[in-house]
């Protein structure tokens, strides 16, 4: 645990008692604070009580008297589409609002670091797609190279649940826009921006607000190194704002699909090969084509980001190449589930928006596509260039018929349930094709998470073909 520093003897309120909220409450208590805990959900309050926290109704009048700060869980809206009433009450009372990420960054370094020769480093990863894979890949490369590493944030453990790091250690954080938007302290040593596509627009008041939440990690965080995906205008803008000039190697530009040029530090992937360039000269190259855990151009971008982060920490290209080759991938993200009679079954349930689903479609030439669910804003526009890879679509979800209307001339079948979609796709798939779950939609019409949706796909596939 990372005890929160500077709160001894203070009263702090915690709103939302899920994973991050309870973690923050424990860390505040460990730092000597009195914790006022609240969640509208009675079950969550009971879980907090079981750990010795006394729930205090923060919705009542005067709840913020003598409260030093309000710590908010990431799922609770603080501005758009409307402020939570407890947060609005904290504002009215002049009480600072923060989250567990802000507490982490202000508490991470301790006086004990004075005796360390190599102080711990924080690598923070944000962006729309690829955050989890990039974060896990960086962690894997570091561990493979013998560097102590912990994975936390939006993946792995809560940021305040990690062990205090020691000599030369690293902490890899996946940070969502919900987390970067509110944190009052953001001070990573290395920050990574993967890409940007429309997502969570209602929470941020539009695409500009969404990008602004991501940008805070760099503009306010002031990292020593910034690794920026420049395949979208927002990434180009961000890299340009951070760099003092074309040769400024504090900014590392990365890309998948285009060759980058210039005197700066560049890492890009084209036609399956990763290249590193510095000062106008190529210094390393890695063949990514045979790495089973990193299929497709989107995963090659993740590899570029992880490679750049590892290089910033002094790890050599050969060590990184060996580590990339042993990376097994993450569940629900281009996960190879099974192969039977020349047909591969791939679970990309994490493809919850059109942009991430487009990346999955681009990775395979002949696809039986299982799609559908709770539609998000922005439509299916990013998918259009890759629909030629689809032999047939099998649409799931409570509104499957409406989702199917977007597919127009693409052969498709309304299946509604995962069981029916897997059965039909498996029956019709030919050798060399991929049965791909890449929904391009949220799961909440039928499942409580994308993980549950992916697990259902896996179960249906294994029941169908065995294994």
pLDDT in tens, 55-67: 999 999 999 999 9
Whole-prediction pTM value?
Answer: 0.85
What is the per-residue pLDDT for 242? Answer: 97
Residue 142 has pLDDT above 80, yes or no: yes
Compute the distance between CA of residue 243 and CA of residue 269 in angstroms, rounded to an integer. Answer: 22
Work out the average pLDDT over 335-355: 92
Known binding residues for ATP are: 127-133
CATH code of domain 106-325: 3.40.1190.10
Q: Phi and psi of 435, rounded to 5°?
A: -90, 110
Query: What CATH fold (topology level) applies to the domain 335-465?
Result: 3.90.190
Residue 133 banded pLDDT, cuts 50, 70, 90: very high
Read off the tokens for 344.
Answer: 């591969």
pLDDT at 377: 72
Instruction: Indicate the average pLDDT of the chain.
Output: 94
Do residues 139 and 152 lie in contact, with contact meaning Cβ atoms separated by under 8 Å? no
The upper half-sphere exposure of residue 323, i.e. CA atoms within 13 Å in the direction of its Cβ, equals 23
Give the pLDDT band (50/70/90) at residue 467. Answer: low
Q: What is the DSSP letter of 276?
A: E
DSSP 8-state code for residue 396: E
**What number of other Cβ atoms are within 10 A of residue 15's Cβ?**
25
At residue 32, the pLDDT reads 97
Structure confidence at residue 359 (pLDDT): 87
Residue ranges per structural domain of the chain: 11-98, 106-325, 335-465
Note if the bond before 81 is cis, omega within 30 degrees: yes
d(CA 97, CA 87): 7
The domain made up of 11-98 has a fold known as: Rossmann fold (3.40.50)
Residue range 242-259: mean pLDDT, rounded: 95
Return the pLDDT at 51. Answer: 95
Residues 125 and 65: their CA atoms lie apart, in Å, by 37
Whether 197 has a pLDDT exceeding 90, the answer reads no
CA dihedral 437, 439, 443, 446 (to 10 degrees): -70
pLDDT average, residue stretch 411-419: 97
φ, ψ of residue 308 in degrees (nearest 5): -60, -40
- Work out the end-to-end distance of the chain between its first and last CA atoms, rounded to an integer number of angstroms: 40
261-276 b/e with 16+ CB inside 10 Å = b?
eeebbbbbbeeeebbb
Q: Token pair of 130, please?
A: 């690829």
Four-CA torsion 260, 264, 265, 268, nearest 10 degrees: 0
Here the tokens at position 162 are 């990690």
pLDDT given for residue 432 in this prediction: 96
- The pLDDT tens digits for 278-330 are 999 999 999 999 898 898 888 999 999 999 999 999 999 999 999 999 998 88
Which stretches does DSSP call E strand in 201-306?
A: 225-229, 251-256, 265-270, 273-278, 281-287
| Known binding residues | 127-133
Secondary structure element (H or E) that encloses residue 450, with its range: helix 450-465
């Amino acid at each position: 645990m990372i005890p929160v520093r500077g709160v001894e003897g203070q009263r702090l309120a915690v709103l939302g008692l899920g994973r991050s909220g309870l973690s923050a409450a424990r860390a505040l208590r460990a730092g000597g604070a009195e914790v006022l805990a609240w969640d509208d959900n009675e079950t969550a309050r009971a879980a907090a009580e079981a750990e010795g926290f006394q729930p205090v109704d923060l919705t009542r009048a005067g709840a913020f008297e003598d409260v030093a700060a309000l710590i908010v869980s990431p799922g609770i809206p603080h501005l758009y589409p409307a402020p939570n009433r407890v947060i609005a009450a904290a504002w009215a009372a002049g009480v600072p609002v923060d989250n567990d990420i802000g507490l982490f960054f202000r508490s991470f370094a301790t006086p004990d670091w004075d005796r360390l020769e190599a102080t711990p480093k924080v690598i923070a990863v944000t962006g729309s797609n690829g955050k989890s894979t990039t974060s896990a890949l960086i962690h894997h490369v570091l561990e493979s190279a013998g560097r102590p590493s912990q994975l936390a944030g939006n993946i792995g453990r809560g940021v305040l649940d990690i062990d205090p790091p020691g000599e030369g250690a690293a902490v890899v954080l996946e940070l969502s826009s919900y987390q970067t938007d509110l944190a009052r302290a953001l001070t990573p040593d290395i920050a990574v921006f993967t890409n940007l596509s429309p997502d969570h627009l209602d929470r941020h008041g539009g695409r500009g607000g969404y990008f602004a939440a991501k940008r805070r990690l760099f503009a306010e965080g002031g990292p020593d190194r910034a690794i920026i995906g420049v395949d979208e205008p927002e990434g180009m803008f961000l890299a340009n704002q951070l760099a003092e000039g074309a040769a400024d190697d504090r900014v590392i530009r990365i890309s998948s699909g285009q060759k980058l040029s210039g005197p700066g530090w560049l890492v890009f992937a084209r036609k399956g090969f990763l290249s590193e360039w510095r000062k106008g000269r190529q210094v390393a190259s890695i063949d990514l084509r045979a790495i089973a855990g990193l299929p497709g151009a989107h995963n090659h971008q993740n590899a570029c980001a992880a490679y750049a982060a590892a290089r910033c920490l002094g790890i050599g290209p050969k060590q990184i190449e060996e580590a990339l080759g042993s990376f097994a991938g993450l569940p629900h993200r281009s996960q190879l589930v099974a192969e039977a009679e020349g047909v591969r079954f791939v679970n990309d349930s994490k493809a919850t928006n059109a942009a991430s689903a487009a990346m999955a479609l681009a990775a395979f030439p002949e696809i039986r596509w299982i799609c559908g669910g709770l539609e998000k804003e922005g439509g299916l526009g990013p998918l259009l260039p890759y629909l030629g890879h689809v032999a047939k679509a099998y649409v799931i979800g409570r509104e499957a018929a409406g989702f199917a209307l977007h597919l127009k001339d693409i052969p498709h079948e309304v299946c509604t349930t995962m069981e029916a979609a897997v059965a039909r796709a498996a029956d019709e798939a030919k050798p060399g094709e991929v049965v791909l779950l890449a929904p391009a939609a949220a799961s909440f019409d039928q499942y409580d998470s994308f993980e549950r949706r992916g697990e259902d796909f896996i179960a249906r596939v294994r029941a169908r073909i065995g294994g």
